[in-house]
Amino acid sequence: MRIATWNVNSIRQRLTHVLAFLKEAEPDALCLQELKCVDADFPRAEIEEAGWQVTTHGQKGFNGVAIISRSALEDVRRGLPGDESDEQARYLEGVLPHGDGVVRLASIYLPNGNPPNTEKYPYKLAWMERLAVHAKGLLAHEEPLVLAGDYNVIPEPRDARDPAAWAGDALFLPPTRTAFRKLQSLGFTEALRATTDAAGLYTFWDYQAGAWQRNNGIRIDHLLLSPQAADRLGAVSIAKHVRGWDKASDHVPVLIELN
């Protein structure tokens, strides 16, 4: 089973890219983030016509997550529990068939948190704590579970071309990295780091200042695996070439194989 995650930075601007990637990569499921539209404006028909099932959780103007899958997504949850007043569309979860069993999959768009001296940063940290609480509950099911998405977390210095430039950024501040480690310590395996210790593996290059041309990237798109999923982990890859496509998203897809 192949699972991918991709922050597309507007599904309406990136529809042809998504269709091309689906055709090229042939995933069983693709988690999307930053749809930047309400469900009614999601280009559902075009993707369904290509043979896919579409589950969306959109929001006007920004945020928004979706899961595109070959099989219908079941037991769907929209929104991260733990704060009824939170209306931001950043979490979508469901269950897909996998062999004789199932895999539970979530598409996550974790808050950016910048600038850190505003209410945006405590919102990010609180969101991460809510995710940890929910994830702990999911782990109790002892089933294959994949939490995939744009975490807006640079886990370590080797995950940035120029870590010093990110020292005061909400993506790299110590409380952010500590919260990410705490989430993992519940029992998750971070897919890419289960397969390589290499530096220089990035999933995001800013539109500004020629970041792509200079390979000035960061690794912020991650897949966290429950023990039952980690036991089945095969290859992990970053579809870096997608960043070179015309009018590309600033993020590229990350893929895993589950045997």
Partner DNA sequence: ATGTCGCATTCCATGCGA
Residues 178 and 131: beta-carbon distance below 8 Å: no
Which of 2, 10, 187, 189 lies at the binding interface for DNA (CB under 7 A)? 10
Least distance to DNA from the beta carbon of 236, Å? Answer: 23
Residue 81 to residue 181: CA distance in whole angstroms: 21
How far is C-alpha 236 from the chain's CA centre? Answer: 14
Residue 259 to residue 257: CA distance in whole angstroms: 6
Cβ-based nearer residue to DNA, 185 or 208: 208
Alpha helices in the chain (DSSP H): 15-25, 44-49, 120-139, 174-185, 227-230
Contact stretch for DNA (CB under 7 A) within 5-13, 126-134, 182-190, 229-237: 5-13
Cβ-based nearer residue to DNA, 11 or 73: 11
Beta strand 74-78 with 53-57: parallel, antiparallel or unpaired?
A: unpaired
Judged by DSSP in three states, 4 sits in: strand
The structure tokens 């993992």 sit at 184
Site string for DNA, 112-131 (x = CB under 7 A): x-x-----x-----------
Contact stretch for DNA (CB under 7 A) within 97-105, 107-115, 138-146, 224-232: 107-115
Cβ-based nearer residue to DNA, 64 or 94: 64
Beta strand 91-98 with 74-78: parallel, antiparallel or unpaired?
A: antiparallel
Residue 231 to residue 116: CA distance in whole angstroms: 37
Least distance to DNA from the beta carbon of 253, Å? Answer: 16
Q: Which of 254, 218, 222 is nearest to 236 (CA)?
A: 254
Least distance to DNA from the beta carbon of 117, Å? Answer: 13
Contact stretch for DNA (CB under 7 A) within 70-78, 98-106, 111-119, 236-244: 111-119
The dihedrals phi and psi of 105, each to the nearest 5 degrees, come to -135, 135
Site string for DNA, 170-209 (x = CB under 7 A): ------------------------------------xxxx
Residue 159 to residue 153: CA distance in whole angstroms: 10
- Of residues 46-65, those binding DNA (CB under 7 A): 60-63
Least distance to DNA from the beta carbon of 9, Å? Answer: 5
Q: Total number of residues binding DNA (CB under 7 A)?
A: 22
Residue 64 to residue 35: CA distance in whole angstroms: 5
Least distance to DNA from the beta carbon of 90, Å? Answer: 9
- Of residues 138-167, those binding DNA (CB under 7 A): 165
The residue ranges that bind DNA (CB under 7 A) are: 9-10, 12-13, 34, 36-37, 60-63, 111-112, 114, 120, 165, 206-210, 247
